[in-house]
Amino acid sequence: MQGLSIDSVNQSFADREVLSSVYLNCKIGEVVGLLGRNGSGKSTLLKIIFGSVKANFKYLNINNKVYEKGYLSKNLSYLPQDNFIPGKISILQAINTFCKRGHAELKQIEFVASNLNTRFYNLSGGERRFMECLLMIYSDMEYILLDEPFSQLSPLWIEELKKHINKAKADKGFIITDHYYKSILDVSDRIVLLHNKCNYNIDNEDDLVTHGYLPGFKA
């Protein structure tokens, strides 16, 4: 079966175990939201999938082939928390690098169309984050990992990003993590919570209270 899955993930830093026998999967056509409190290992898990962090143990399968590092599949894009496009690169150059198949759709977006020749060092922090998110969403890869895509963005741009994610998932699979948990709930088809080193499937906000991600409220 086509899809991305990572199983039996174990990871420790110094003497502290962060992830223990964690499992996560994603299929084309779905958005998987990954939630967890600070230090729960969300970003670490995405980096392990991509291949920039080496796990103590993992089993990574992408479209029925096992990989040591996800990027070696040449079918995986990853948005890190920090800026990753060099400042001297123009938006058009970045599109031509990452979005050979999706460039026409991307150029129809108003912000993109009016800034094609703008270099990234001339963008504001929010504009830069918005553009880097769009580049990953419309990249040539089937599986997209987004780490804190909504941070630094205005509410209007967050809503626009959600629309682009929902549009692009017709032929892509997304794993997204962000502290704006309501936006994750809005855009995701499934929610997975990292808690106490393990993963839990979440059906509703009450489950987030049960597992300690959200505080309980008394009427």
Angle in degrees, 0-180, between the axes of helices 125-137 and 91-98, rounded to the nearest 10: 20
* The predicted structure's pLDDT at residue 218: 41
Angle in degrees, 0-180, between the axes of helices 155-168 and 125-137, rounded to the nearest 10: 10
Dihedral Cα 208, 146, 169, 70, nearest 10 deg: -110
Q: Per-residue confidence of the chain (219 residues) as pLDDT tens digits?
A: 689 999 999 999 888 899 999 999 999 999 999 999 988 999 999 999 999 999 999 999 999 999 999 999 999 999 999 999 999 999 999 999 999 998 999 999 999 999 999 999 999 999 999 999 999 999 999 999 999 999 889 999 999 999 999 999 999 999 999 999 999 999 999 999 999 999 999 998 889 988 888 876 543
Give residue limits of the domains in the chain.
Answer: 4-210
Q: How far is CA 142 from CA 34, 84, 153, in A?
A: 18, 20, 25
* The predicted structure's pLDDT at residue 216: 66
Architecture of domain 4-210: 3-Layer(aba) Sandwich (3.40)
